C-alpha cells in the first residue's frame, strides 16, 4: 500500500481504503461479543451502527466488483455478526424480567385458558376415576401407584401409619433439600409434558391423566380410613399451585400439538412457531410456580400441621394465581 503503483487493481484500492474501518468494527465486535458490552464507551457504542452500515455497503461493493473470494467471505461474516449485534436484543436483563412478570407470563397463561381448562378437566376426571376405582376395588391401588411411588402407603398399611405420614416427616431432617428435590423432579416432568404435546397432544393427555389417577387413588385410600379431610389439607397446601402448574403445562402442550395438527390458514411452520412463542412464557412461569409449590410442600407442609391452616394456604395460593393470571388488566403500552 505504500507504493501507489501496486494499486492498479480497483478491488485492491477499495480494500486499502476501507480495511481500517473493518478492523475497527471487528475489534469493537469482539469486545461486545465476549460479554464486555458494558465496557464499551458511549462513543464506541455510537460508532458501531455507522461502521455496520459501512460494512454493509462494503459487502455490496465487494460482491459486485471484487473477485477475491476470501475478502467477500470475510465481509459476509463480519456483516452477519454485526447484524446480529445491532438488531439483537437491546433490552437488559432487568427490563426483560419486569416485562415477563408484568405482561408476558400472565398474558401467555390467559391466552391458554381454553387448553388449560381441557387439561384441568382431564386431571379432575382422572382423579375421580382413580378415586372410584380404588374405592370399588382396593387392588387397583397397586396398579395405579407402584411400590416405589407409594412408599408403603397402600391398602395393607395400618391407619396409624397412614396418619403418621400426614403429620410427621420420617427421617426427613432436611426440609429444604426435600423441597429442592420435589421442585427439580416436578419441573422436569412438567417440561416433558409440555414437549410431548408436539406428538399430537395424546402423550400429554396421558401424562396429565396419570397424575390425576394417582391423586384420586391416594385420596380414596385415605378416605376409606376416614382420613379424607386430613389428606385434603395435606394435598392442598401445595397442590393448588402444583396442579394448576400441571394444567398450564399440559395446556401449553396441547396448544403446540393443536397448532401442528390444525394449523388453519397459516403454514404448519408458522402456526407451530406462533404457538411456541405464546407457550414459552407460560412454561417459564410453570417452572417458577413449581419452585413455590416445592417450597410449600417441602417446608410449609412440614411446619404447619393444622388441617385448616393447610386448606387456607392452599385456597389463598389458588386465588392469588387466578387473580394474577385471569383478572383483566390494563393493556400493554
Partner 1 sequence: MPDALPIAPALSDTQTALARRFVTPEGVDLRLTLASAGERGAAFLLDILILAAVLVVFTILAAWLAASGGEAVWEPIGIIWLLAFFVLRSGWFILFELTRRAATPGKRALGLRVVARDGGRLTGEAVFVRNAMREIEVFLPLVFLGAAKVAGESVGAMVTLLGLTWTGIFLLFPLFNRDRLRIGDFVAGTWVVKAPRRPLAVDLAEDQGRRRETIAFTSDQIAAYGVKELQVLEEVLRHRDKRTLHAVAERIRGKIGWRSRPGEADLDFLMAYYAALRRRLEHRLLFGHRRRDKFDRA
- Contact residue for partner 1 among 59, 118, 134, 201 (CB under 8 A): 59
Output the smallest distance, CB 193 to partner 1, in A: 9
* Cell triple for 103: 405482561
Does position 79 bind partner 1 by CB under 8 A?
Answer: yes
Distance CA 222, CA 236 (A): 14
21 binds partner 1 (CB under 8 A): no
* 179-218 binders of partner 1 (CB under 8 A): 180-181, 183-184, 187-188, 191-192, 194-196, 198-199
Interacting residues with partner 1 between 137 and 176 (CB under 8 A): 173-174, 176
Q: How many residues bind partner 1 (CB under 8 A)?
A: 78
Closest separation in Å from C-beta 84 to partner 1: 7
Interface with partner 1 includes 60 (CB under 8 A)?
yes
Q: What is d(CA 86, CA 116) in angstroms, rounded to the nearest whole number?
A: 38
Query: Is 46 near partner 1 (CB under 8 A)?
Result: no
- Write down the residue that cell numbers 464506541 correspond to: 44
- Each residue 224-263 as x (binds partner 1 by CB under 8 A) or -, in order, gives --------------------------------x-------
CA distances to 13, 118, 277 from 211, in Å: 71, 15, 26
Residue with cell 393470571: 325
| CA separation for the pair 222, 242 (Å, rounded) | 20
Does 104 interact with partner 1 (rule: CB under 8 A)?
yes
Q: Angle at which helices 159-167 and 228-261 pack, to 10 degrees? A: 70
- Residue 45 binding partner 1, by CB under 8 A: no
User: 192-202: string of b/e by CB count within 10 Å (b at 16+)?
Assistant: ebbbbbbeebe
**Distance between CA atoms of residues 147 and 153, nearest Å:** 8
| Contacting residue, 44, 76, 154, 210, with partner 1 by CB under 8 A | 76
Closest CA to 55 of 76, 33, 39: 76
> Which is nearer to partner 1, 91 or 159 (by Cβ)?
91
Give CA–CA dist 270/263, Å, rounded: 8
Task: Compute the least distance from the CB of residue 134 to partner 1, in Å.
Answer: 25
Cβ contact 154:237 at 8 Å: no
The 277-296 site mask, x for binding partner 1 (CB under 8 A), equals: xxxxx-xx------------
Out of 136, 261, 269, 306, point to the residue binding partner 1 (CB under 8 A).
269
In whole angstroms, how close is the CB of 62 to partner 1 at the nearest point? 11
Amino acid at each position: 500500500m505504500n507504493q501507489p503503483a501496486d494499486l492498479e487493481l480497483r478491488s485492491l484500492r477499495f480494500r486499502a481504503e476501507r480495511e481500517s474501518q473493518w478492523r475497527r468494527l471487528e475489534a469493537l465486535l469482539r469486545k461486545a461479543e465476549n460479554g464486555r458490552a458494558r465496557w464499551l464507551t458511549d462513543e464506541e457504542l455510537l460508532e458501531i451502527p455507522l461502521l455496520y452500515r459501512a460494512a454493509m455497503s462494503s459487502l455490496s461493493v465487494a460482491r459486485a466488483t471484487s473477485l477475491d473470494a476470501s475478502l467477500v467471505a470475510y465481509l459476509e461474516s463480519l456483516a452477519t455478526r454485526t447484524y446480529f449485534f445491532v438488531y439483537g436484543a437491546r433490552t437488559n436483563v432487568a427490563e426483560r424480567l419486569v416485562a415477563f412478570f408484568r405482561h408476558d407470563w400472565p398474558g401467555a397463561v390467559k391466552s391458554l385458558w381454553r387448553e388449560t381448562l381441557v387439561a384441568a378437566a382431564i386431571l379432575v376426571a382422572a382423579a375421580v376415576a382413580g378415586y372410584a376405582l380404588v374405592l370399588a376395588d382396593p387392588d387397583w391401588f397397586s396398579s395405579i401407584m407402584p411400590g416405589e411411588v407409594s412408599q408403603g402407603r397402600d391398602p395393607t398399611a395400618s391407619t396409624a401409619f397412614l396418619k403418621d405420614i400426614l403429620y410427621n416427616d420420617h427421617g426427613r431432617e432436611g426440609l429444604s433439600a426435600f423441597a429442592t428435590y420435589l421442585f427439580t423432579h416436578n419441573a422436569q416432568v412438567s417440561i416433558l409434558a409440555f414437549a410431548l404435546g408436539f406428538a399430537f397432544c395424546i402423550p400429554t393427555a396421558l401424562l396429565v391423566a396419570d397424575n390425576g389417577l394417582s391423586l384420586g387413588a391416594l385420596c380414596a385410600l385415605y378416605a376409606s380410613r376416614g382420613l379424607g379431610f386430613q389428606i385434603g389439607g395435606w394435598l392442598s397446601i401445595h397442590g393448588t399451585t402444583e396442579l394448576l402448574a400441571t394444567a398450564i403445562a399440559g395446556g401449553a402442550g396441547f396448544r403446540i400439538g393443536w397448532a401442528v395438527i390444525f394449523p388453519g390458514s397459516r403454514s404448519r411452520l408458522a402456526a407451530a412457531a406462533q404457538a411456541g412463542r405464546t407457550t414459552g412464557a407460560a412454561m417459564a412461569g410453570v417452572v417458577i410456580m413449581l419452585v413455590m409449590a416445592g417450597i410449600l410442600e417441602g417446608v410449609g407442609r412440614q411446619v404447619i400441621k393444622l388441617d385448616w391452616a393447610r386448606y387456607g394456604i392452599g385456597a389463598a395460593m389458588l386465588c392469588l394465581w387466578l387473580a394474577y393470571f385471569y383478572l383483566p388488566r390494563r393493556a400493554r403500552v
